[in-house]
Amino acid sequence: MNREPQASRPSLTQRTIASALIASCSLMAVPMHASAQVVPTDALVQPQATGDIADSRARVNAFFARDDVRRAMVKEGVDGAAAQARVDAMSDDEIRALDGRIAQAPAGGEVLGIIFTVFVILLVTDILGFTKVFPFTRSIR
């Protein structure tokens, strides 16, 4: 009795993997289409009105120069010069947001809310290590 080894049939998993490989290799030969066009700079960069941000900065600086605002900051324990330095270091978007809050505040009614906002901004920047305004904070850096 001479028995030859029988060829084993591939399992269902092996056939599935082989079919997926055949399909993916066949699809690699299909050409892909790509297109490109010139995009003008104006479409990518939004023009910013420099006068608008200058006006916003002037309004914010005038707000912090008021005596009642300075007194309220001192009452909350915020150094006026440090707060002014932080306001000077704010980005254009932060200045616009703060100017919007100042403009929306009723006359004299929301001064504490704005001062609290500045206090929180200064506190967060102290904790992150960008400024050193408050002696009671410890930087995470």
Task: Answer whether residue 21 shows pLDDT above 80.
Answer: yes
Read off the amino acid at residue 88. Answer: D
Report CA-CA distances (Å) from 104 to 83, 98, 99.
21, 10, 9
98 and 90 Cβ atoms separated by less than 8 Å: yes
Task: Answer whether residue 70 shows pLDDT above 80.
Answer: yes
- Residue 99 pLDDT: 84
Which of 45-49, 72-76, 104-108, 122-126 has the weakest average pLDDT? 45-49
- Residue 90 pLDDT: 82
User: Residues 78-134: pLDDT tens digits?
Assistant: 887 888 888 888 888 888 888 888 777 665 555 667 777 888 888 888 888 887 777
* Cut 0.85: pTM above it: no
